[in-house]
């Protein structure tokens, strides 16, 4: 049985209760889950028009990949002739809190002793358990399956565990977040803390929270992972983009996720 955040109410009942509160909206995402302790989701920095796209599941362009994600979840592949569902069964039952806890430190899985994102975990399972080829970063398959898994945690708070050895990766991620980079000599903090709310290109600078990723980016007319978003930010400050799946990239995403702890998972969010 699904549990609510408080561990007392079945998930379906929780969502139904939220829907009652939001009678004026077609989506439960209209609940004010976007503010916590002075921190705000990127949703708060959107125009009303873009907020409306995210609030209505029938209009949200990111929702269109869920069918493919479910298909991939149940697709038998690889020499082991297994699917994700063969091991994890029904995604709604078994994945409903998983994405809220990634990135995370994994020590006991062979080949890992580092921060691992949802994409890396998916590929590890494909290679080691299914004996199938890994998905390429930002491929349609990776984005669809990652979004499908993340969707199961929708409206659950982001959890980040920084205890023990995880603290080292957190500290490294914070260093990267505050490091001035590129020809413009700007850090993540310079934009997303000191300049949040100010105009940048055609948009407003947000706090750079990652609780909505994978998100549908209107600028790119496609879904995108937080890693692609970080690489784009690198390019804006004229810095060498961090490599997908690199140690620096994963430690940075770990710290960024920590900044959004407690904010609700919105994926697939809509962003400019």
CB 73 within 8 A of CB 91: yes
> Which residue is listed with tokens 């209505």?
56
> Which residue is listed with tokens 């690489």?
231
- Measured distance between the N- and C-terminal CA atoms of the chain, rounded to whole angstroms: 37
Question: Two tokens at 146?
Answer: 């990652």
Query: pTM, whole model, 2 decimals?
Result: 0.87
Closest CA to 206 of 31, 33, 34, 54: 34
> How far is it, in rounded angstroms, from Cα 170 to Cα 250?
10
Tens place of pLDDT per residue across the chain (272 aa) = 333 333 333 343 344 334 433 333 344 444 467 888 889 999 999 999 999 999 999 999 999 999 999 999 999 999 999 999 999 999 999 999 999 999 999 986 666 679 999 999 999 999 999 999 999 999 999 999 999 999 999 999 999 999 999 999 999 999 999 999 999 999 999 999 999 999 887 789 999 999 999 999 999 999 999 999 999 999 999 999 999 999 999 999 999 999 999 999 999 999 99
Task: From the options 1.10.1370.40, 3.40.50.1000, 1.10.760.10, 1.25.40.10, give the CATH code of 166-271.
Answer: 1.10.760.10
Q: What is the DSSP letter of 140?
A: H
Catalytic positions: 233
The neighbour count for residue 108, using CB atoms within 10 Å, is: 6
Buried b (16+ CB within 10 A) or exposed e, 1-25: eeebeeeeeebeebbeebeeeeeee
> How far is it, in rounded angstroms, from Cα 124 to Cα 111?
9
Q: How much is the pLDDT for 214?
A: 98
Each domain of the chain, given as residue ranges in start order, spans 166-271
Closest CA to 126 of 74, 78, 72: 78
Buried b (16+ CB within 10 A) or exposed e, 81-93: ebbbbeebeebee
Q: What is the DSSP letter of 236?
A: H
The neighbour count for residue 48, using CB atoms within 10 Å, is: 7
Q: How much is the pLDDT for 7?
A: 36
């Amino acid at each position: 049985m699904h549990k609510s955040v408080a561990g007392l109410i079945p998930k379906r009942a929780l969502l139904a209760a939220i829907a009652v509160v939001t009678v004026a909206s077609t989506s439960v995402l209209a609940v004010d889950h976007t503010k916590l302790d002075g921190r705000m989701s990127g949703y708060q920095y959107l125009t009303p028009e873009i907020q409306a796209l995210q609030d209505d599941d029938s209009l949200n362009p990111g929702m269109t990949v869920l069918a493919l994600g479910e298909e991939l979840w149940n697709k038998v592949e690889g020499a082991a002739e297994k699917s994700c569902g063969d091991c994890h069964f029904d995604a709604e039952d078994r994945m409903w809190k998983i994405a809220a806890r990634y990135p995370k430190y994994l020590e006991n899985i062979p080949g890992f002793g580092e921060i691992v994102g949802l994409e890396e975990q998916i590929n590890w399972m494909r290679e080691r358990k299914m004996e199938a080829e890994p998905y390429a970063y930002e491929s349609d398959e990776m984005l669809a399956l990652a979004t499908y898994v993340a969707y199961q945690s929708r409206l659950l708070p982001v959890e980040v565990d920084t205890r023990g050895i995880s603290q080292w990766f957190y500290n490294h991620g914070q260093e990267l977040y505050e490091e001035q980079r590129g020809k413009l000599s700007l850090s993540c903090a310079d934009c997303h803390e000191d300049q949040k709310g100010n105009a940048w290109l055609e948009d407003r600078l947000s706090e750079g929270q990652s609780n909505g990723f994978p998100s549908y980016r209107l600028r790119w007319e496609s879904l995108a992972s937080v890693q692609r978003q970080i690489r784009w930010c690198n390019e804006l400050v004229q810095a060498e983009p961090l490599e997908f799946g690199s140690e620096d990239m994963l430690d940075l995403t770990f710290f960024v996720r920590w900044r959004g702890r407690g904010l609700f998972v919105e994926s697939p969010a809509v962003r400019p």
